[in-house]
Amino acid sequence: MKFISWNVNGLRAVCGKGFENIFKDFDADFVCLQETKLQEGQIDLAFEGYSSYWDYADKKGYSGTAIYTRHTPLSVSYGIGVDVHDHEGRAVTLEMEDFYLVCVYVPNSQDGLKRLEYRMSWEDDFRAYLQKLAQRKGVVVCGDMNVAHEEIDLKNPSTNHFNAGFSDEERGKMSELLSAGFVDSWRMQHPEEAKYSWWSYRMKARERNVGWRIDYFLVSDSLKERIGSTDILNDVNGSDHCPVMLELI
């Protein structure tokens, strides 16, 4: 079973850059998108054999998540069940027969860490949400989690130590989540490899491969024996992020 996760940074924009052909080339069971930046009715993008589920932000042109799936879910939910978080289109959850799939776009702490306090609240509530799901069945979590967990996960750790996405607080919350019963599927299979999923649009960062790995597939401990292959699809363009892939066997 093949999963793709991709922060498209504006679905309408990436549709002008070959998204439909890229989607078909994925040939995936589930395609999870973040930062769709859409309101309901602003795009008509269907693929034969797939259903889709969308979480829209109240604010126009902001955030947004979606899942395309070849499989009919038992149930679908939006947000994480905490009202203060559930107006920004940040999560879609599909309940499948033997696992939950959660597509998430984690809030950015922003320049100067001005949203860090909110981010910490989100992290605690999101972890509690995932733990509750994991009590029932396995969980696959994917998306832009807006944190490079370890120094190997970004090109320049020393100069980014106190910046959004690499603060001690954000990294600590990722450690807490992993300790709560989840595994970082890519890092499990590639313990010493530096490979990135996001590059700034400035300073030719992608061309120079000055990047960050902030897009993840986390899998609950109960499913980790089913992890087949993982990949970071650096050759797929169209966004400042590239897609990441997981296969479960």
- List the catalytic residues: 105, 144
First vs last C-alpha separation in the chain: 6
Integer Cα distance of 9 and 219 in angstroms: 24
Contact 240, 146 (CB under 8 A): no
Residue type at position 199: W
- Measured CA to CA in angstroms, residue 196 lies from 7, 62, 102, 186, 205 at distances of 13, 24, 22, 11, 11
φ and ψ of 117, to 5 deg: -60, -45
For 152, residues 6+ apart whose C-beta sits below 8 A from its C-beta are 192, 193, 194
